Amino acid sequence: MELTTVWFTLIAVLWIGYFALEGFDFGVGMLLPVLARDEREKRVLINTIGPVWDGNEVWVLVAGGATFAAFPEWYATLFSGFYLPLLLILVGLIVRGLAFEYRHKRDDAAWRRNWDLALIIGSVVPALLWGVAFANILRGVPIEELNGHLEYTGGFFNLLNPYALLGGLMTLTLFLTHGAMYVALKTDGDIRHRARALAVRTGIGAAVIAVAFLLWTQVMTGSVASAVAFVVAALCLVGGIAAAAVGREGWAFLGTFVTIAAGVAGLFLALFPDVMPSSIDAAYSLTTTNAAATSYTLTVMTVVAVVFTPIVLAYQAWSYWVFRKRISVQHIPEETLAGSGSAA
């Protein structure tokens, strides 16, 4: 296998890890005003992701860095053409991180309410815009040759097309359902039962939107491999919803986890060997070949990845194991306590 294909695959794996893990973080943030009925329940929700949310974000940082190093032409075109949506995503992630760190710093209802709003917005914006961005990559964007370089020649409103907006709704509803499944798995008491019931309702809507988007993708640019991945994603989502309906939270969460993983894998399989197709002329499309770095660069990166990736995976798996137990309002004291970013 060529190193360009290896690194395309590794970048796909990084995005799969990011969406499958960070997806439930976004979902929990969006569900804060829906599931929590008082301050203690809000703190329960936030504490379910407090120890892991920042570790989950590492996946997107590594994915961006790997893209920059392995496919510099892809990185340059993507970040110049998608500058505004990616900036909005970055601002959302920053605001969300600040909300985790600062909402507990003052024992004041208005202060916490404002940071709760920041947390909700900082979860909704990336959840929606990641889907819009990836849908546009699959659909193809205006790329043509200018001054000897392949460059994006469209504008912001080129990105707001029906297919991309449907992709945004898909990621938004899937992450919402994934977050509800995670809350049902990680909590106990009334909030657990409310989360499980909500996961079933939102899951049905997410399934309808996801099937419509994945069918559209398959017809537009799919392959046999992507079709298999999409079928796996659809079956796992149905299975996850059914498991939630009968109270099997572990299987339900696994269902949405595999749904997102298989769905993202299918999108990359549908994209390959392009990394950014041109809607003007296929000759102007960026591929794993014409967008790649030098062979020496890819070789060095491969050695580094082989050494450090198992270490990172082992550490993150260990952190999930340490914080594996359920929490409930009984674990939250009445008074507001100052603490670290891993607690609310």
* In-domain check, residue 340: no
Q: Can you give the pLDDT at residue 1?
A: 66
Give residue 130's pLDDT: 96
Q: Which residues touch 92 (CB under 8 Å, ≥6 apart)?
A: 121, 122, 123, 124, 125, 126, 129
Secondary-structure percent of the chain, ordered helix, strand, coil, rounded to 5: 75, 5, 20
Residue 146 is assigned to a structural domain of this protein: no
Q: Would residue 34 count as lying in a domain?
A: yes
> Is 271:138 a contact under the CB 8 Å cutoff?
yes
Region of 140 on the Ramachandran plot (φ > 0 left; ψ -120 to 50 alpha; else beta) = left
Q: Side-chain half-sphere of 109: how many Cα atoms within 13 Å? A: 2
Unique residue bearing structure tokens 């609310």: 344
Does a structural domain hold residue 295?
A: yes
Residue found by looking up tokens 């829906």 in the block: 34
In a domain, 342, yes or no: no
Question: Residues 165-215: pLDDT tens digits?
Answer: 999 999 999 999 999 999 999 999 899 999 999 999 999 999 999 999 999
Examine the pLDDT at 104 and tell me if it is beyond 90.
Answer: no
Domain that holds residue 290: 3-141+153-331
Cβ 330 vs Cβ 190: under 8 Å: no
- Is there a domain that residue 339 lies in? no
Given a contact cutoff of 8 angstroms between Cβ atoms, the answer to whether 192 and 184 are in contact is yes
Residue 72: other Cβ atoms inside 10 A: 15
In the chain, how many domains are there?
1
pLDDT number for residue 141: 87
pTM for the structure as a whole: 0.91
| Bond prior to 277 in cis (omega within 30° of 0) | no
Q: Is residue 49 part of a domain?
A: yes
What's the CATH code of the domain at 197? Answer: 1.20.1630.10
The answer to whether residue 344 is domain-embedded is no
Q: Is pLDDT of 115 > 80?
A: yes
